Structure 1
Amino acid sequence: MGSVQREIVIDAPADTVWGIVGDFVAGPLHMAGGALVESKLVEPDVRALTFADGTVVRERLVARDESARRIAYAWVGDDVAHDNTSMQVFADGRARCRLVWIHDTLPDELTNWLATTMDRMSPVLQQTLRSA
């Protein structure tokens, strides 16, 4: 199984960042800086994300832990044998936090694509969450 982890330091309070990251439906639109054009609930605990290029992906909510500021979800699709993504927000003082973003997936061939995508999106997340 491929695994990609990124840690992003954000100059914003952890509770503020968690308010966005922990919102399963609206959060992605607030974090993605224009890369997403729509996020909607299509089944209980399943969202459909529409990217600016028209690609639509579905993700199932796996877990949401308010006290740990952690959300986990899974990409649902024919190309994916297994997928689990989590985002967790850790306080780093009063006005700064760390976002730990982990993506585990099968098949392994998706790992390089995910790493590239996460590398591209990390500065976007950092900027949009800092501005929130």
Structure 2
Amino acid sequence: MASIQKEVVIEVAPEQVWDALRDVGALHTRLVVGFVSNCVLEADGGARVVTFANGMVARELIVDVSEEWHRVAWSATGGQLSHHNASAQVFGEGTAHSRVVWIADLLPNELAPAVESMVAQGCAAMKRTLELLAHRL
């Protein structure tokens, strides 16, 4: 099983980063603008349909939103991946900076380079979005 881990430091208070990350239906407006073009929560809130800027669409089951750990976990279903589980977690780096750790485990291994590229793009979009929105406040 391929495992990918990326970290990004964001010059925004951890509470603000967590507030955006835990809003699982607002990826396209609050967290990763430009990386995700649309995100729709299903009626029961247990899954979301994510449309990426590259046109790919994924249904993601929301596994956990942990207020205690400032962590969101999800699992993509369908498509080329036979297994996909991921999480993103916010850690405080002082009062004005945050570190987000994004981990994805997937099969088949051959898709790891493509997923790793998407995770890197997502991290860059997260940093850009959150820092831009924080400076507007």
TM-score by length of 1: 0.91
Which residue is equivalent to 1:113?
A: 114
Q: CA deviation at 1:42?
A: 2.5
Aligned residue pair count: 132
**CA distance in structure 2 between the partners assigned to 1:36 and 1:120 by the alignment:** 10
Letter in 2 for 1:131: L
Indicate yes or no: 2:105 matched with 1:101: no
Which residue is equivalent to 1:36?
A: 36
Summarize deviations over 1:38-87 as a string: whole Å, max 9, x none: 11113531100122343321100011100110000001114222111100
Which residue is equivalent to 1:24?
A: 24
For structure 1, the 5+ residue unaligned runs are: none
Cα RMSD for the two superposed structures: 1.5
Q: Secondary structure at 1:109's aligned position in 2?
A: helix
TM-score by length of 2: 0.88
**CA distance in structure 2 between the partners assigned to 1:121 and 1:52 by the alignment:** 11
Q: Contact 1:64 / 1:71 at 8 angstroms: preserved in 2? A: yes
Identity across aligned pairs (percent)?
33
TM alignment of 1:40-59, pairs within 5 A:
40-44=40-44, 45-59=46-60
Which residue is equivalent to 1:126?
A: 127
Q: Contact 1:14 / 1:97 at 8 angstroms: preserved in 2? A: yes
